[in-house]
Amino acid sequence: MGTTEQEAVRAAVERVADRMADEKEYLTDLDSAIGDADHGANMNRGFRAVHEKVSEMDDAPPDELVKTVGITLVSEVGGAAGPLYGGSFMTASAELGDGITAESSVAFAEVFLEKVKDRGDAPVGAKTMVDAITPAVHTYKKSIEEDDLKPVEALTKAVDACERGVNFTTPIRATKGRASYLGWRSVGHQDPGATSTLFIVKSIRETAVE
């Protein structure tokens, strides 16, 4: 049943899907406070579909699998999160064409971040998923390229960085996404999209550790 790499992608997807199901209400509660109370439902619907699709793809190489993750998110999630996560998985998947290595995973992460920023036009500090993705990607890249850490170790650092990004969203004012409509009232609330990013990064790390 496929290579270790294929298995790893499938395992990560399953883990993310489980996590989104578990955290559905939590994410929706965060989105209630400063958005429209659907981020949990959106992510759960999206990754349930991704999990189904990916389970059926027996022989696809990892880049195909990840591309499917993206396409499925685009066509199942809707909202802001759909094109942001979906489009980024789709585009970045091309970096995994020669397999998942330390280098290719760094390239993947960089393109992913770039694509999110492109689509959403959100700078760091706008209180969006960009605030969680940016530190995670920067830290991962530096850990691999400068500190010569192994991917699993780098992922552990990335989780930690991502978490700080999530925490950073709480005390700042939103200037992008629905929360921006609230103006100063958005201060004091954690961003739901940043939080779902953390769940994804955590799940990938857990899969890598196994």
Ligand X SMILES: Nc1ncnc2c1ncn2[C@@H]1O[C@H](COP(=O)(O)OP(=O)(O)O)[C@@H](O)[C@H]1O
Give dist(CA 15, CA 49) in Å, integer: 13
User: Binding residues for another protein, per CB under 8 A?
Assistant: 28, 32-38, 41-42, 45, 74-84, 87, 119-120, 173, 175-178, 180-183, 185
Nearer to ligand X, 196 or 207 (CB): 196
82 counts as binding Mg ion under rule CB under 5 A: no
Among residues 39, 45, 67, 115, the one that binds ligand X under rule CB under 6 A: 39
Among residues 86, 135, 165, 193, the one that binds ligand X under rule CB under 6 A: 193
Sequence-separated (6 or more) residues with CB below 8 Å from residue 34:
174, 178, 179, 182, 185, 186, 189, 191, 192
The CA-to-CA distance between both ends of the chain, in Å, stands at 18
Among the listed ranges 64-72, 80-88, 102-110, 156-164, the one in contact with ligand X (CB under 6 A) is: 80-88
> Which element (helix H / strand E) includes 203?
helix 192-209
Among the listed ranges 2-10, 68-76, 90-98, 114-122, the one in contact with ligand X (CB under 6 A) is: 114-122
Chosen from another protein, Mg ion, ligand X, none, partner binding at 185 (C-beta under 5 to 8 Å by type): another protein
The secondary structure of 70-115 as a DSSP string is: HHHHHHHT-TTHIIIIIHHHHHHGGGGTT---HHHHHHHHHHHHHH
In single-letter form, the type of residue at position 21 comes to A
201 counts as binding ligand X under rule CB under 6 A: no
In whole angstroms, what separates CA 118 from the centre of its chain? Answer: 15
87 counts as binding ligand X under rule CB under 6 A: no
Nearer to another protein, 151 or 177 (CB): 177
Nearer to ligand X, 61 or 165 (CB): 165
Residues 8-47, mask of contacts with Mg ion (x by CB under 5 A): -----------------------x---xx-xx--------
In single-letter form, the type of residue at position 91 comes to T
Give dist(CA 32, CA 133) in Å, integer: 22
Nearest to 201 by CA among 128, 119, 209, 42: 209
Nearest to 114 by CA among 87, 142, 96: 87
Per CB under 6 A, residues contacting ligand X are: 31, 35-36, 38-39, 42, 79-81, 84, 116, 120-122, 128-130, 176-178, 191-194
